């Protein structure tokens, strides 16, 4: 685990500013250079926090661009944590950070009442009052959580085991993607273990509930550590989860025990399946007849330094997938849901939405992207169908 390099590695070259999607669309944000390392110098002197800190979406494009490996967004998140310790964040942020809490309530509600989620008129009214934009693409709770569906699966026992970390998005909103990943892992000869359904803590960090995020991290690491220590790989299909588990735990939560054991075992699900392919465990057909797709690379996948394994798997099957080439979709977890941020998020994603529209008009069947909230945002702004690349891969292999 790399330590956070000193802010003195920042030479104020402005590279981060050229890569920041928020700076591109709003003058309310002072940009990563001033909000990150430059303000950090004043933070060390205990000066007041700048308001613009709130505009950092933690998308991490600044960190990715920085030639000096300064972790700018991490500085911002640590500063936000400190600010939220002093001033309680709005209740709106509590709700968005605790989507999981609502999810747990909802999982016991009968099928007929399911639209109770965050999308019925009453919830909308409450969310509006809280400060969630009325237009925001709130996700709909799944009828049965991933954990309940997974419990009902019959797997063939295998000596080769892999841990799947579903995270809150797949567990509460999108269990089918989780099931598709389990199917693929089984197909590669692995027995899947799911020890924990806790949220990794990303939304808590982004909304400033830092101490609580640390508690989540402790629960998650505790549940996964023994498996990791036994050399069992831990995969996540949501890119923000895998980034958090493999990198941010170590950066954000100093002294959190077990992260060094866990981190080297963590992989993005596509990355793991690409390794299975290399080992000969997952034979793929070469020239399948399939629809065309357009791919969006989530920021938090780019931040992992592993390229685009999901895209690579589809292309190896001969699937035609073009790349949108956009920097960010603008949702950044719960950022684009908030009043005052919805329009920022929409403006950030505009070039991406234009690319998706164009691809669909030229015959693409759907957009594909690994991140759950990216999919939500793209679908909301384009009306296009948006899928996880591994769901498409399962469909190809499961014919």
Partner 1 sequence: MIVPDSADILVVGGGFSGLMAAVFAAREGRRVRVLSRGQGALAVGGGTIDLLGYVPGRAAAVRAPFSAMEALGADHPYRLAGIPMVRQALDGFLQMCLAAGYPYEMEGGAEAPRNRRLLTSIGAMKPSCAVPSSMSMQGAEAAEEVLVVGIEGLKDFFPRLAVPGIARYLKGNVIPVLLRCPEKLAPMLEVGGKSVPSRDVSTLDVANMLEERDGRAWFVDRLRRHPAFARLRGKRGMILLPPVLGTKPLPDVQKALTEALGCPVFELVAPPPGVTGLRLRALLMAELRRLGVDLVMNAFVVRPEYTPGRSGAMHVAAVQVESGGRLRRCEASAFIMATGGIYGDGIEVTPSAVRDRVFGEAAPVSSALKPVDAGWSEPAAYPDFAAGYSHAFARLGTRVGADFRPVTENGLVTLENVFYAGRALGGHDPAAEKSGNGVALVSAFACAVHACRVCPAGSAPQQ
Name the residues that contact partner 1, by CB under 8 A. 1-2, 13-15, 17-19, 23-24, 27, 30, 34, 63-69, 242-243, 246-247, 250, 260, 263-264, 266-267, 274, 277-280, 283-284, 302-308, 312, 315-316, 323, 325
CB of 144 to partner 1, least distance (A): 32
CB of 188 to partner 1, least distance (A): 13
3-state DSSP helix/strand/coil % of the chain, to nearest 5: 55, 5, 40
CB of 83 to partner 1, least distance (A): 20
Q: What is the DSSP letter of 244?
A: I
CB of 274 to partner 1, least distance (A): 7
Which residues are 132's β-sheet partners? 338
Residue whose CB is less far from partner 1, 283 or 383: 283
CB of 46 to partner 1, least distance (A): 23
CB of 338 to partner 1, least distance (A): 22
Alpha-carbon gap, residue 284 to 145, rounded angstroms: 30
Inter-residue contact 140 to 119 (CB < 8 Å):
yes
CB of 303 to partner 1, least distance (A): 6
Question: What is the token pair recorded at 390?
Answer: 């591994």
Which distant-in-sequence residues (6+ apart) come within 8 Å of 276 by Cβ? 188, 190, 282
Residue whose CB is less far from partner 1, 50 or 97: 50
Q: Is 163 left (phi over 0), alpha (psi -120 to 50) or beta?
A: beta
Alpha-carbon gap, residue 87 to 275, rounded angstroms: 46
Q: Is 383 left (phi over 0), alpha (psi -120 to 50) or beta?
A: left
Residue whose CB is less far from partner 1, 198 or 327: 327
Residue whose CB is less far from partner 1, 96 or 348: 348
For the chain, report the end-to-end CA distance as a whole number of angstroms. 42
Question: What is the token pair recorded at 194?
Answer: 């799911």
Residue whose CB is less far from partner 1, 171 or 259: 259
For CA atoms 284, 156, 262, 146, give the dihedral sign.
positive
Q: What is the DSSP letter of 270?
A: H
Residue whose CB is less far from partner 1, 141 or 293: 293
Q: How many helices (H) and strands (E) does the chain have?
A: 23, 8
User: 321 by DSSP, 3-state: which?
Assistant: strand
CB of 91 to partner 1, least distance (A): 29
CB of 92 to partner 1, least distance (A): 26
Residue whose CB is less far from partner 1, 263 or 390: 263
Question: What is the token pair recorded at 331?
Answer: 């949702």
Question: What is the token pair recorded at 281?
Answer: 């465990």
Residue whose CB is less far from partner 1, 15 or 176: 15
Which residues are 386's β-sheet partners? 367
Residue whose CB is less far from partner 1, 59 or 106: 59
Which residues are 124's β-sheet partners? none
Which residues are 266's β-sheet partners? 234
The values of phi and psi at residue 387, to 5°, are: -130, 160
- Residue 288: which of 263, 314, 270 has the closest Cα? 314
Distances (CA, A) of 377 to 75, 234, 386: 26, 27, 9
CB of 354 to partner 1, least distance (A): 13
Residue whose CB is less far from partner 1, 15 or 123: 15
């Amino acid at each position: 685990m790399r330590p956070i390099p000193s802010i003195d590695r920042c030479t104020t070259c402005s590279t981060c500013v050229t890569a920041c999607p928020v700076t591109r669309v709003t003058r309310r944000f002072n940009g990563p250079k001033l909000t990150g390392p430059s303000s950090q110098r004043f933070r060390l002197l205990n000066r007041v926090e700048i308001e613009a800190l709130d505009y950092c979406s933690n998308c991490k494009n600044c960190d990715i661009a920085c030639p000096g490996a300064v972790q700018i967004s991490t500085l911002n998140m640590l500063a936000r944590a400190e600010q939220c310790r002093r001033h309680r964040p709005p209740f709106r942020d509590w709700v968005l950070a605790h989507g999981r809490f609502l999810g747990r309530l909802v999982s016991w509600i009968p099928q007929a009442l399911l639209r109770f989620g965050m999308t019925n008129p009453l919830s909308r009214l409450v969310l509006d009052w809280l400060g969630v934009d009325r237009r925001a693409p709130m996700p709909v709770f799944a009828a049965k959580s991933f954990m309940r569906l997974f419990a009902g699966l019959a797997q063939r026992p295998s000596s080769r085991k892999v841990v799947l970390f579903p995270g809150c998005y797949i567990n509460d909103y999108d269990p089918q993607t989780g099931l598709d990943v389990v199917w693929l892992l089984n197909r590669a000869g692995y027995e899947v273990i799911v020890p924990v359904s806790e949220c990794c803590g990303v939304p808590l960090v982004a909304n400033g509930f830092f101490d609580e995020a640390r508690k989540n991290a402790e629960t998650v690491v505790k549940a996964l550590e023994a498996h990791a220590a036994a050399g069992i790989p831990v995969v996540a299909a949501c890119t923000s989860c895998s980034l958090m588990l493999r990198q941010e735990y170590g950066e954000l939560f100093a002294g959190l025990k077990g992260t060094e054991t866990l981190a080297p075992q963590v992989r993005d699900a596509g990355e793991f399946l690409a390794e299975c392919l290399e080992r000969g465990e997952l034979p793929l057909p070469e020239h399948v007849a399939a629809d065309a797709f357009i791919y969006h690379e989530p920021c938090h996948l780019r931040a992992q330094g592993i390229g685009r394994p999901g895209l690579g798997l589809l292309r190896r099957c001969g699937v035609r997938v073009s790349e949108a080439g956009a920097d960010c979709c603008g949702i950044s977890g719960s950022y684009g849901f908030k009043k005052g941020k919805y329009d920022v998020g929409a403006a950030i994603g505009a070039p991406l939405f234009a690319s998706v529209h164009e691809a669909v008009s030229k015959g693409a069947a759907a957009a594909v992207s690994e991140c759950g909230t990216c999919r939500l945002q793209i679908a909301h702004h384009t009306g296009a169908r948006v899928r996880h690349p591994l769901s498409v891969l399962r469909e190809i292999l499961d014919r």
